[in-house]
Amino acid sequence: MAQYKQSIRIPAAPDEIFDFVANVRNLPKYLPTTRKAQPKPHDRVRVQGEVEGHLYVADGYLRADRENYRLEWGADEENYSGHLKIQPQDDLSLVTVHLHFQPKATVEGEQRTDEQIQQILVDILESIRNEVTDESDSESDEADLALLDGQSNDLSPSVV
């Protein structure tokens, strides 16, 4: 199983970040290929989007655990799942996303390199930060990106 993780520090309260990411209708605001997301009963979700000129529709689940500031998701038709965890850190929140793929690493049906997947995670986390903070008050430099295991922000070694 291929696993990836990336973290970012966001100058916002965990509740504010969780409210944003747990709202299914906000998925298009931070997932680059998603154009529309619809909540369905029983933690189900349908997303529609476009990857490299190809339209897609995918069904899956999105489970929100507010008490633990954790989201879990997965796609029905692909061996893909992940989770996002928010941890308070003084005046900041550490947001960490994990992706799991079996047997080959794909993103929305397209084969990707480890570096491309890591960059997608960075882009998603930066989009979340930009949406929940006033962009004029937050610096958008790589100093805010940090891996939990203390590695640098070099994308290659951050595959776990």
Residue 104, pLDDT score: 54
Q: What is the tens place of the pLDDT at every residue in 30-72?
A: 998 899 999 999 999 999 999 888 898 999 999 999 999 999 9
- Select from 136, 153, 133, 143 the least CA-distant residue to 20: 133
How many whole angstroms separate alpha carbon 156 and alpha carbon 64? 30
What the block records as the tokens of 79 is 């061996």
pLDDT by residue (tens digit) across 76-109?
877 789 999 999 998 899 999 999 887 654 455 5
Q: The domain containing residue 137 runs over which residues?
A: 2-158
Give 45's strand partners: 39, 60
Report whether pLDDT(124) > 50: yes
Q: What's the gap between Cα 43 and its chain centre?
A: 17
Report the domain count for the chain: 1
Share of the chain above pLDDT 70, in %: 78
Distance of alpha carbon 138 from alpha carbon 120, whole angstroms: 20
pLDDT of res. 138 = 43
| Residue 47 near residue 33 (C-beta atoms within 8 A) | no
pTM of the model: 0.79
- Residue 76's pLDDT is 86
Domain with residue 13: its CATH number is 3.30.530.20
- Dist. CA 11–CA 6, nearest whole Å: 17
